Amino acid sequence: MTLHCEEMPFSQLAQTFGTPLYVYSQSALTEAFAAYQTAFADLNPLVCYAVKANGNLSIIKHFAELGSGFDIVSGGELARVLAAGGDAAKVIFSGVGKSEAEIEYALNAGVKCFNMESLPEIDRIQAVAARLGKTAPVSLRINPDVDPKTHPYISTGLKANKFGIAYDDALAAYRHAVAQPNLNVVGIDCHIGSQLTDLTPLTEACERLLALVDTLAAEGIVLEHVDLGGGVGIVYQNEEVPDLAAYAAAVKRLFGNRQLKLVLEPGRSLVGNAGNLLTRVEFVKHGEEKNFVMVDAAMNDLMRPALYDAYHHIENTEEKHTPPILANIVGPICETGDFLGKDRQIACESGDLLVVRSAGAYAASMASNYNARNRAAEVLVNGDTARLIRHRETLEQQMANELACL
Dihedrals φ, ψ of 43, to 5°?
-100, -5
Helix/strand/coil (H/E/C) assignment for every residue in the chain: CECEECCEEHHHHHHHHCCCEEEEEHHHHHHHHHHHHHHCHHHCCEEEEEHHHCCCHHHHHHHHHCCCEEEECCHHHHHHHHHCCCCHHHEEECCCCCCHHHHHHHHHHCCCEEEECCHHHHHHHHHHHHHHCCCEEEEEEEECCCCCCCCHHHECCCCCCCCCEEHHHHHHHHHHHHCCCCEEEEEEECCCECCECCHHHHHHHHHHHHHHHHHHHHCCCCCCEEECCCCECCCCCCCCCCCHHHHHHHHHHHHCCCCCEEEECCCHHHHHHHEEEEEEEEEEEECCCCEEEEECCCCCCCCHHHHHCCCCCEEECECCCCCCEEEEEECCCCCCCCEEEEEEEECCCCCCEEEECCCCCCCHHHCCCHHHCCCCEEEEEECCEEEEEECCCCHHHHHCCCCCCC
Q: Are 125 and 173 in contact (CB under 8 A)?
A: no
- Active-site residue, 5 included: no
Question: Binding site for substrate: what residues are annotated?
Answer: 268, 304, 308, 335, 362
206, 334, 348, 405: the catalytic one is: 334
Binding site for pyridoxal 5'-phosphate, by residue number, is: 231, 265-268, 362
Residue type, 205: A
- The burial of 101, by beta-carbon neighbours within 10 Å (0-12 exposed, 13-18 middle, 19 or more buried), is given as exposed
Q: Which residues define the annotated binding site? A: 231, 265-268, 304, 308, 335, 362
> Do 193 and 231 touch, CB atoms closer than 8 A?
yes
Cite the active site residues.
Answer: 334
